[in-house]
Every structure is written in structure tokens, then in C-alpha cells.
Amino acid sequence: MEMLLQTFFFTQGEHVNNQGHKETDLLREASKQLDEYFMGNRFKFDLPLFLSGTEFQLKVWKALESIPYGETRSYKQIAEAIGNPKACRAVGMANNRNPISIIIPCHRVIGSSGRLVGYGGGLDIKEKLLQLERDNVR
């Protein structure tokens, strides 16, 4: 998994450092599921999530979880899905506050024009994640 994380999230010369972090069953399971995702064998995460956010953020994050693997939705579509069609910018802000990218797939949200916009990890990472999913859709 370290190599996959380095490929997606770190520049050359940086290393994943997990020293000093207590390993738990939940972390082991999350690591396993992320490995499966990056290998193209997991399309939805099944982890017990206890998210902390505003009511609006929680609605947005729940809507993000419903976007199928390999597909995208616009900020407008997410706003409509949560019953607040004029809240496109607020959806973007909720995405920005997503505490667990990939597991809650905010990378699947794009601009109304179909262009890639806004991603905390950078648009190059967003494109790689979307390409990974497109390559593995069965």
C-alpha cells in the first residue's frame, strides 16, 4: 500500500511514515479496503463511519457516497439530490471539508461543464483517481 499511496499522494523523495501511530482493527481494515480500491477490486467502502459536521455537510457526504464507482456528478446534481438545488457553492464547501477523501468520494464531483474543478489533493490526483475508476469499471 505504501507504494500506491506514494504514487498518488507524495512527490518523489517523500515517504509514508506511520511510526508512532497505534494500529487498530479499524485502521487495518481501512488499509485493506484502500489497497483493494487502488488495485481495482473495491468499488465501495464498508467502514463504520462516525462523521462530525453540520447537518448540511452530512447530507452532502451521504450523497457523495451514493455516486457509483467510475461515475461523476456535478455540484448542481448533488445540490439537487439533497433537496437544495441552489446550494452548488455550499456543496463545494462541504466537499472541501470532507474528512476522508476517497472513502467519501468527493473526487467524483465535477463542474457543470464536465470539467474537473476543486480537489484538496490537487486536480492531477483527482484525474488519476477518476482514471483508475474508469479503467476498472466492469
Is 88 known to be catalytic? no
Dihedral, CA of residue 44, residue 10, residue 124 and residue 81, to nearest 10 = 30
Catalytic residue among 103, 106, 110, 129: 106
Residues paired with 109 in a beta bridge = 73
Residues paired with 110 in a beta bridge = 74
Determine the Cα–Cα distance for residues 119 and 113; give it in Å rounded to an integer: 16
How far from the centroid of its chain's Cα atoms is residue 72's Cα?
Answer: 12
Residues identified as active-site: 106
